[in-house]
Amino acid sequence: MVKDPVCLMEISPRTATAMITHDGRSYYFCSENCKQRFQAQPDLFLKKTLGMRLSIGVMGSASLDESQQASDKAYALGKAIAKRNFNLITGACSGLPYDCARGAQSAGGMSIGISPGLSLDEHIHKYLAPADAFDILIYTGSGLMGREVTNIRSSDMVIILGGRSGTLGEFAIAFDEGKLIGVLQGSGGITDHIPDIVKSFGQKDTGARLVYDADPDVLVARLADIYATKHYKRPSCFCEEMVNNSG
């Protein structure tokens, strides 16, 4: 249960009448009236209850051979996530996710890396992964493929950035688990093919929602808006869907 920050009523996130993100944190409301009162004077209610900070997971190519355009987009994406005070989650690898983590770091954001290793030593020496762009490293010991599930399930929203077969696997997990997924167009790799891949799924409905945009700032803003107006009621397939879901 969470508390409505205005009336302090305890409610379930999936039955909340409304939800907003403020300074990167999620706040749930029992009524539209409470939401409007909060929006009018948020400082009046922020001390009553602290919302949980939302996380955006960025999945992309770990290759060091990506184009400068893709690298620049990744860096700008990290900055866009940090500007909204969302947590950034990546696989703590090199390549585009690392560029994204550096972008978030440059803007004062929180960067969390999900490591395939058992320790910092293994992270650096076995997996040859960077450690300097993360505020927190979580050591899973589950290897490169095993940590992908942790990446997705730890993220409220997922963004696909460039990528090859490994990123495609992460996209498939996110899609099957009903996540809100952003696709950063113009970043190359599988992002150019995702529309056709989704068409090949036919009528399969997992609850996943896809958002496409070439502008990192616009993409993050659109994801935040859709999450707050629709997707919060069923953020993954592991949440029961309410019959009164506004969909």
The CATH number of whichever domain residue 62 belongs to comes to: 3.40.50.450
Residues 31 and 99 placed together within one structural domain of the fold:
no
pLDDT at residue number 241: 57
Query: Which of 52, 69, 93 corresponds to the end of one domain?
Result: 52
Residues of the chain under the 50 pLDDT cut? 242-247
Residue 12 domain flag? yes
Q: Are residues 67 and 121 in the same domain?
A: yes
Together in a domain, 92 and 186: yes
Model pLDDT, residue 230: 92
Same domain, 68 and 129: yes
pTM: 0.93
Domain shared by 8 and 36, yes or no? yes
Look up the domain containing 175 and give its range: 54-232
pLDDT given for residue 246 in this prediction = 39
| pLDDT value for 68 | 94
The pLDDT of residue 14 is 85
Domain membership flag for residue 240: no
- What whole-number distance in Å separates Cα of residue 16 and Cα of residue 234? 11
139 and 100 in a common domain: yes
| pLDDT in the model for residue 89 | 98
User: Would you say residue 217 lies in a domain?
Assistant: yes
Q: Is residue 247 part of a domain?
A: no
pLDDT of residue 224: 97
